[in-house]
Every structure is written in C-alpha cells, then in structure tokens.
Structure 1
Amino acid sequence: MRNDSCGAGVAGTGTQSVLVILFDGVQPLDVAGPLDVFSVAARFAGTADVPPYVVRTASLGGGAVRTAGGLRVVPDLDLADAEEPRPAPRPGRTRRGRRRRPARGLAS
C-alpha cells in the first residue's frame, strides 16, 4: 500500500501509519517507547471507527530480531512490504528542513 497524500493517512482514512524498524541489537526502549506513545495518543485522538495511528513493526526480511538485551521480537511485516514512508516533522525545523529562527530574546 502506497500513501502519497500529505494528510490523508492510511488508505485515505485520516489514520497515520507509523512504522517501527527492528534490527538485531536494537535497544528495547527504542521499540517499546514509540509503541507506548502512540497507543496513549490514540486514547485522546481519533474515533472508534477511525484510529488516529496504525503502528506496525518491520525488519529486513521479516524475520525475528534480538534486542541488545537478548529479547526476541517478531515483526509484523518485512520491511520490503511496508508502504513508502513520509518523513516525520522534526522539532525546530521548517517543512523544507531549514532551522527555525529562535524567538526574539532566546539564544539558539
């Protein structure tokens, strides 16, 4: 599934697709953290019919990986089968990737 529209989300539903990429040696918190954040955010946004986020995990080849602590994690899909990503906004940056100027009186 490919998503080229800026605000339509997954299949035009308004749902945003979030992909957590897994690899051998990943820190467990780097997997669990985003999953937890988006599940909590889902409680405050969207509706029962249209979830605000669909969070999935993927690895190269779709196989299980071992985290840095030895935990075995099985992804939802192969990275090759994931939809084409859209870059996430970065704090302090404009849409074109330029740094925002600090507010007057604030050091950068």
Structure 2
Amino acid sequence: MAARDLPPEPRMFAVDPDDWPGGDLVDHAPAPAVAARRLAQNLRRALDEQTVSLRALAVRVGVDHATISRVIAGRRYCDIATLAKLEAGLGTPLWPPYRQPSGHAGDVVD
C-alpha cells in the first residue's frame, strides 16, 4: 500500500477508532498505521511521565499544540521534522523500533 493510498487518519486502522491509540488495530494494518499508533502511545506516555502539558511541550519545541494533539489522537501522521522536535524537546525517543521478521521486512514492533 503506497502512502498516497492510506486513509488520511491512522486511527481509521483501529478496530475502534474512538479507542485510539489504546485499542487493537485491524488485521494486516499497514506499517505506517502501526508506527503512528506506537508513536502516539510513546508520546502520551512521555508527556504523562514528565508531567508536561501538551501546550507546554508545544511552546518548548515550536510546534502548534493542535498538531501534537492530532498526532496523539491519530488524526494525522507525524512528519519527520515534528518527530525530531518532539524527541529533542522531551529528551526521549518516540519512534517505535523495527524488526525484520521472516517474510515481512520492515514490520513495526507492536
């Protein structure tokens, strides 16, 4: 599936989009949706652990708070520039690791 073929919201690959990012994904969800879910989970966890508000993080990293909110809510895919700013601002990696299982190169660890 090419990126242009993906739904505009990664949460559309959730069994229940309203349960994003905590719920299950549909069978055979594409790697970008799996990565978006893990990124949203990691970002939410980092905010909670560091007791940083979404707005405070937005000011710290120079990214609109609505953009961060949409990434967490699965309403948009995170671009690489935003990801780099978020990781630098939080001092922690957010992008999920990858593995190379047999027959499926580049699957996201979930």
TM-score bracket, shorter-length normalisation: under 0.3
Q: Which has the higher helix share?
A: 2
TM value normalised by structure 1: 0.23
Structure with the greater alpha carbon radius of gyration: 1
Q: Which has the higher strand share?
A: 1
